[in-house]
Amino acid sequence: MLLANRGFNNLFDDMFKDPFFTRPYDNSSSQIMKTDIHDKDGSYIIEMELPGYAKEDIKADLKDGYLTITANKSESKEEKDAKGNCIHKERYTGTCNRSFYVGDALTQEDIKAAFKDGILRLQFPKEIQKQEEQPKLITIE
């Protein structure tokens, strides 16, 4: 049923775009954080484009089975004339994030992450055997 309705929904997707802006109505983070997910050799590989960000601007967080990537940037530019008077000044502060459900069994140690040339690459196994917590015996005195 979901696939049958998707074609119907595509018909109306353009209707909800604001003609005065170039971005569609949906979450702008997905527009900034373009992501490819590959299934290779028993692992998932997430490649996310983050041009203009430094490694220090990016945070990956795993909580309750959700892997969340957050990119935060603050920038200030100022131009002055020969006398030192400010003739142009701009400031930018922004945060974007995306979350992916990866399962409750995944731990931080299972995820390998690297950032190079504006691409964040995360790799983790497709299937992980969830370790059942062994009962901890309480000494009775």
pLDDT score of 23: 41
pLDDT score of 74: 84
62-74 pLDDT, tens digit per residue, is 999 999 999 998 8
pLDDT score of 6: 45
Rounded to an integer, what distance in angstroms lies between the CA atom of residue 50 and that of residue 68?
14
pLDDT score of 49: 94
When the pLDDT of each residue in the chain is averaged and rounded to a whole number, the result is: 78
Identify the residue with better confidence: 13 or 70: 70
Q: Under a CB-based contact definition with an 8 Å cutoff, are residues 127 and 47 in contact?
A: no
* Domains (range + CATH), the chain: 29-125 (2.60.40.790)
Percent of the chain whose predicted confidence (pLDDT) is above 90 = 42
Flag whether pLDDT at 28 surpasses 60: no
Identify the residue with better confidence: 136 or 67: 67
* Cα angle value 63/111/70 (rounded, 5°): 55
Percent of the chain whose predicted confidence (pLDDT) is above 70 = 72
Spacing of C-alpha 23 from chain mean position: 18
Rounded to an integer, what distance in angstroms lies between the CA atom of residue 116 and that of residue 12?
38
Q: Under a CB-based contact definition with an 8 Å cutoff, are residues 59 and 95 in contact?
A: no
